[in-house]
Amino acid sequence: MFLLKTNHFNKINIIKGFITALMLSAFIYFSHFSFEIKIINSIFGVFGIYLLLSIPKKSLFFAGFFTGIFWCNWMAISLQYYDLTYIFPIVLLGIGIVFGIIFHLFALIDNLIFRSFAIFIFTFISPFGFNWLKLELLFIDSYFSTSKLAFALIIISLVLFIYLKKFRFIALFIMIFALDFSKNINLAEPNINISMPQMMVNQDLKWQKEYVNDLIENNFAKIEEAIEQKKDLVVLPETAFSFVLNKKPEILNRLLEYSYNIDIIVGSLYLENREIFNASYHFFEGNYEVAKKVVLVPFGEEIPLPKFLVDLINNIFYNGASDYSKASTATDFLIKGEKFRNAICYEATTDKIFENLNETKYMMVISNNAWFIPSIEPTLQHLLLKYYSKKYGVMIFHTVNGSPNRVYKP
């Protein structure tokens, strides 16, 4: 009888955690399937935070476990390109356990005040440098603001709602002050005619020698098309040239020649002092400059662990390859008199790349999402770029391989 009761309560804890995770994740899947209704996202978001505050401590691990998998399952998709599909379940399990432990720590001291404070503090924390599980993002397509203050007000309102026995619904009026009363910034588009060719190149083709020349010529065809259309700038995605471009003089010289007719931004690798960088190249008037990536993808471009573990993982899974190197500061490109902050994929969804913007109001982002197709990764990236565009008042031009190009207006 005792075992039956134990199993029963375990099932209840799992179910409560699972429902909480559904509420915390639904907005991503709604957006993925183009079902963006503000009132529904508002209700689901608030109810998700309410459950996070009120479910039993034993349910929190399962809430984190399923939330981590719902938000980050796409991480395992890229393993197919390293012939590591056999560890797919292990990666998913690891993701779930990490976030399960983090959510369980919300109730390290098992009272509501500590839990509410811990949940709010989590919005400032990036486990292993990864910040895509951002709880305030729940409200990006809702009637609520995505600011830290608004998130704090929602938590305070729900804490009072749980505590108060009488007139508890009065506490919900605090949420009025968490509503998004801000107006869109009237930021004019740059006075530049920009070409952002839509690329849909499968990741496995990029590494097959027989396709390399075809992909190179396809890139040049996009540049020629932009020139014919009298564009001022053409932007090709991250690693559109999937090799070390500054060690390919024949390709470099062709791009320099085209740059007399049009500015070109293109993603490729860059070699300097025996270090490899993921980079953006800007070609203009027979010259070029390089913006090296500042923030690397955790467990993708760098492994945020002690060096002995980094070397072990690289030797076992990546044939001894080294992590990419990174720049210390962001780069701004001056294009036809307009300044653009450069960003490559993941770093565009971090606060660091927005530091020291000064008067820069535009950002040029290049990505390669072919690593994660099919998955919700492009959707989550889209929601994060919308969030950061609004947060910093920056217009973001996003050219991407594998998912739709977009322009984000604050």
Distance CA 215, CA 149 (A): 47
Q: How far is CA 177 from CA 171, 189, 388, 393, in A?
A: 12, 31, 21, 21
Contact 263, 282 (CB under 8 A): yes
Residue that is written with structure tokens 């029963």 in the block: 8
224: annotated active-site residue = no
Catalytic option among 231, 292, 293, 386: 293
For residue 79, give the nearest of 203, 237, 201, 210 by alpha carbon.
Answer: 203
Q: What is the secondary structure of 153-173 as a DSSP string?
A: HHHHHHHHHHH-SSSGGGGGG
The pair of structure tokens assigned to 135 is: 């709880």
Catalytic option among 231, 301, 345, 347: 345
Partnered with residue 362 across adjacent β-strands are: 340, 395
Q: 202-224: b or e for each residue (b if 16 or more CB lie within 10 Å)? A: ebeebeeeebeeebbeebeebbe
377: annotated active-site residue = no
386: annotated active-site residue = no
Beta strand segments in 252-331, E = 263-272, 275-284, 287-292
The pair of structure tokens assigned to 66 is: 């399923």
Catalytic option among 238, 301, 347, 377: 238
Calculate Rg over the CA atoms of the chain. 23
Q: 159-166 contacts: CB < 8 A, separation 24 or more? A: 159/53, 159/112, 159/113, 159/116, 161/50, 162/50, 162/53, 162/54, 162/112, 163/112
Active site residues: 238, 293, 345
